[in-house]
Amino acid sequence: MSTQTIDSLKDAVRDIPDFPKPGILFKDITPILADGGLFRAAIDLFHGSIKNAGIEKIVCIDARGFLFGSAVAYRLGIGMVPVRKRGKLPYRTRTLAYALEYGEAEVEMHVDAIRPGERVALIDDLLATGGTSGAAAGLIQAAGGIVHGAYFLIELGFLDGRKQLPGIEVISYLRY
């Protein structure tokens, strides 16, 4: 993907100060989603990174990861697996807790979503502290899946979220 495309995507990300709470600078991707060419370019980035990797499933993190991951899964002709906050999935689930800045949260995935040995790509819109992504990778591994890589449109490098994904290749396209 060209530097111009990356620059166009980065230029479209809108900074929202003090959201969702004071002191946070939120990276808003909705301008990318609203522009067909930019949204396609973002999907092309993900697709280009994994199209020849033998991926069998895309695991997407609630909720913005669904937007990118489902489009990539569709393009590859493979299944998409949602990882959601606890209590949002209707069937039997595997749950994993992870630490937040203040407290703890839990994510879950259906117990039958990943087969042992299945090659999986993890997709989300943003890597920040890495807690949710690390928990999602843990769910995949607990099911016997192989996390081929974790892919993010945006990475907030100063938060060092990669450390929550040890041994997993992390690819991000827009870095702050």
* Three-state SS at 143: coil
- The Cβ of residue 91 has, within 10 Å, a number of other Cβ atoms equal to 8
* Three-state SS at 5: helix
Rounded to 5°, angle at Cα 176 from 55 and 159: 80
CA distance 164 to 158: 14
CA distance 96 to 102: 17
- Give catalytic status of residue 64 as yes or no: yes
Exactly one of 75, 92, 94, 101 is catalytic; which is it?
Answer: 101
Phi then psi for residue 99, to 5 deg, are -85, 140
- Give catalytic status of residue 84 as yes or no: no
Tokens of 162: 């990669």
| Single-letter amino acid, residue 27 | K
Exactly one of 64, 84, 94, 162 is catalytic; which is it?
Answer: 64
CA distance 31 to 33: 5
Catalytic residue positions, numbered? 64, 101
